[in-house]
Structure 1
Amino acid sequence: MKKVIVDKLIKIINSTKAGNANFYTTYGWEQLLNLYKDSLTSEYNLDPISFDNFENWKKVIVDNRIHAIYHLNKVKTNKWIIGCHGYSSSKESSALSSWFLENLGYNIMVFDFINHGESDEGLVTFGVHELDALTKVVNYLHSNFKVKEMGLIGFSMGAFTVNLFSLFDKKIIKKSKLKFVISDSSYMDIKLIFKKILNFTTDPIQKYVESLMDEVIKKYRKDFNIDVLKYDIVKLIEINKKTVPVLYIHSKKDLVTYYKDSEKLYELRKAISKKDKLLLFDNGPHVQTQLKHTKQYIEAVKDFLKNI
């Protein structure tokens, strides 16, 4: 019985393509991208962000598996941003969330993690496959465009992923020309994220599900040969001697990831990076502080970029 339940829980965790599959087939990513834009601009006061140049996104497929879109700045530049979306989201969402950096003079590339959006089916691993996908996109960018400098911005699962990339070997950092990272609503404890995703309405069921977290992780390791706990970000910080500045952003009212995680990462990294910044908002839902506090968000990013 326990095995059947664990199998079902893993199926729930990996049901990230179900919602958009038909939409992509029927309407395409361009329509979804524009629907997101129209929805956000009508619902929120995004006056500090100009969408005048939002057209002309182009599609590429990386490593025959990862679907990505990119946008060249209206002013020719060799500065690039790669955006990484959160769990159960897609490249279209991170395109909108990264767009303000186009206004700051960057070209933008965003992509779907495996088992998200239009990318191939597979397993969501909350860091392992996601870091591999990001690395492939970084390599694709450098192979196909002239890159003077590169920044990463990530949201939730994407934030955890860009944090991992920032702690790569210094040779990889240098080769990629990575200059900075923006980490919006990251996490540290993958078990807690599993619990948030597998959230049931009644306490007895929820407590039983939470008691199976170790079994879920064991099944990933045994049946799929994936250790979702492979990357201990605390240990990576402790052994790291070279990194790039990170701006941590979080809401104190975030009910999915915990602002204390961004706070702790910021404190831990003081030993290896003097230019990190921490921006905490008193309110705002998960990964929505840019929408709720647009002006303050952008001004904080501008200030961060001036000092790196």
Structure 2
Amino acid sequence: MSEYSNIAHKMIEMWNSSFSKTIRHREEAASLKINFVKSINSLNSTNRNSNKKLHIKEYKKPTANFTTFSRDGIKLVSSVWLNPKPSKKWVIGVHGFNSSRFDVLYLTWHYRTLGYNIITFDFRNHGSSATDVVTWGYKEKWDLMTIISWVTQNYKPEEIGLVGTSMGGFTINYFALTEEKFIEENNIKWAISDSAYMSVSKLLKGMVANNAPKIFENYVNVVLEDMLKIYKNEYLVDLVELDFINLIEAKHKYIPIMYIHNRFDRVTNFLDSFKMQDIKNNIEESNVNELIIYDSGMNHTKSIIKFTDDYIIRTSDFVKKHQI
């Protein structure tokens, strides 16, 4: 008999299934899946194909697709969209949980007007990449670093910017606070963090509370404690350490980050972005980290759809301040 509750195991199993059943696996495009969560969400017009909403016709036609391997041997699948004008500037798009490299393209595309090439990739256990446990940023940081190294080795970029949303946004923050030497070596100059959370354990507590039957309402903390033990003992991943407040250190100058959130986001709390920007500026004794909080709408990671012109202008202005 397991020493952990069945609910804890079931929750982890559910999240690692990505709520999807793969119908056809392919690397040249998104794998075909039945996804019940996205099917329900697509009933809301704001959640329908974001690339189409922003008139990105090229999202199905990347310049190239390629595979590489993360540090633990997990296969990663990526796509590249080269800028029509030859450039040594790159943006890496980092998608969220239960998403893919094609789904994040809409958040990166407008940087092409500033001369950037675009690359996006599927995290482990997402899209067409290999199956593994989702670790909410821990191993996903390895995947991000693998793609950065690939770009550096193959294109010798003068500059790289990072754009991440939700889990991708947290992964960027985790990476930015823990890999200063790697960041300098790879010419990473700025980042955009859209709808990110600041603590994995607090995120999971909310997810357990939202998904567990009401009769287990008082059982949430026990389930969460078991889940964290399962991750640590069975997957060798300590999720407790993944907390922005514990990761950031005094007397450090990290890359500038713009934090973006919708006040009524129903998945992650807008106060997380507010706190991360405030803490980071105070630690660095600067005002280079910026914040956008949109006060209407409630769609997670979709502020650019509802506030397109403002979003593009303000993020582009931020990038202009920090690009080479």
Same fold (TM over 0.5): yes
* Residues 254 and 77 (structure 1), Cα distance of their counterparts in 2 relative to 1, 3 Å cut: same
| Structure-1 residue corresponding to 2:29 | 29
Q: How many Å separate the matches in 1 of 2:120 and 2:135?
A: 19
| Structure-2 residue corresponding to 1:226 | 237
Q: How does 1:15-94 map to 2 (within 5 A)?
A: 15-16=17-18, 18-19=20-21, 21-25=22-26, 29=29, 39-40=49-50, 44=53, 46=54, 51=57, 55-63=61-69, 65-94=75-104
The answer to whether residue 317 in structure 2 is matched with residue 303 in structure 1 is: yes
| Structure-2 residue corresponding to 1:129 | 139
Q: How many Å separate the matches in 2 of 1:136 and 1:122?
A: 16
Q: How many Å separate the matches in 2 of 1:220 and 1:299?
A: 41
1:288 pairs with 277, 284, 302, which one?
A: 302
Q: How many Å separate the matches in 2 of 1:232 and 1:189?
A: 4
| Other structure's SS at 1:173 match | helix
| Other structure's SS at 2:192 match | strand
* Residues 52 and 218 (structure 1), Cα distance of their counterparts in 2 relative to 1, 3 Å cut: closer
| Structure-2 residue corresponding to 1:95 | 105
2:202 pairs with 189, 192, 212, which one?
A: 192
* Contact residue 152 and residue 182 of structure 1 kept, 8 A: yes
2:188 pairs with 178, 188, 209, which one?
A: 178
* Contact residue 111 and residue 316 of structure 2 kept, 8 A: no
| Structure-2 residue corresponding to 1:153 | 163
Root mean square deviation, CA, Å: 2.6
The list of structure 1 runs, each at least 4 consecutive aligned residues, that deviate by more than 6 angstroms after superposition, is none
* Residues 197 and 118 (structure 1), Cα distance of their counterparts in 2 relative to 1, 3 Å cut: farther
| Other structure's SS at 1:103 match | helix
Q: How many Å separate the matches in 2 of 1:130 and 1:298?
A: 27
What's the CA shift string for 1:190-242, capped at 9, x where partnerless?
A: 12322443433742234434531011000111112111223332133224612
Structure 1: tracts of 5 or more residues without a match: none
* Residues 119 and 169 (structure 1), Cα distance of their counterparts in 2 relative to 1, 3 Å cut: closer
| Structure-2 residue corresponding to 1:110 | 120
| Other structure's SS at 2:227 match | helix
How far residue 4 of structure 1 moved from its aligned partner, in angstroms, is 2.4
* Contact residue 53 and residue 74 of structure 1 kept, 8 A: no
Question: Which amino acid letter does the alignment assign opposite residue 13 of structure 1?
Answer: W
| Structure-1 residue corresponding to 2:273 | 262
Q: How many Å separate the matches in 1 of 2:188 and 2:229?
A: 34
Q: How many Å separate the matches in 1 of 2:147 and 2:51?
A: 29
| Other structure's SS at 2:239 match | coil
| Other structure's SS at 2:10 match | helix
Q: How many Å separate the matches in 2 of 1:39 and 1:174?
A: 35
Question: Which amino acid letter does the alignment assign opposite residue 89 of structure 1?
Answer: S
Size of the aligned set, in residue pairs, is 299
Question: Which amino acid letter does the alignment assign opposite residue 8 of structure 2?
Answer: V
| Structure-2 residue corresponding to 1:277 | 290
Q: How does 1:7-18 map to 2 (within 5 A)?
A: 7-16=9-18, 18=20
Q: How many Å separate the matches in 1 of 2:14 and 2:197?
A: 20
How far residue 28 of structure 1 moved from its aligned partner, in angstroms, is 5.4
* Contact residue 304 and residue 311 of structure 2 kept, 8 A: yes
Question: Which amino acid letter does the alignment assign opposite residue 267 of structure 1?
Answer: D
1:139 pairs with 136, 145, 149, which one?
A: 149
* Contact residue 57 and residue 69 of structure 1 kept, 8 A: yes
- Percent identity between the aligned chains? 31
Structure 2: tracts of 5 or more residues without a match: 33-41, 43-47
What's the CA shift string for 1:141-192, capped at 9, x where partnerless?
A: 1111120100000000000011122223432221010010000001112123
Question: Which amino acid letter does the alignment assign opposite residue 14 of structure 2?
Answer: I
How far residue 41 of structure 1 moved from its aligned partner, in angstroms, is 5.9
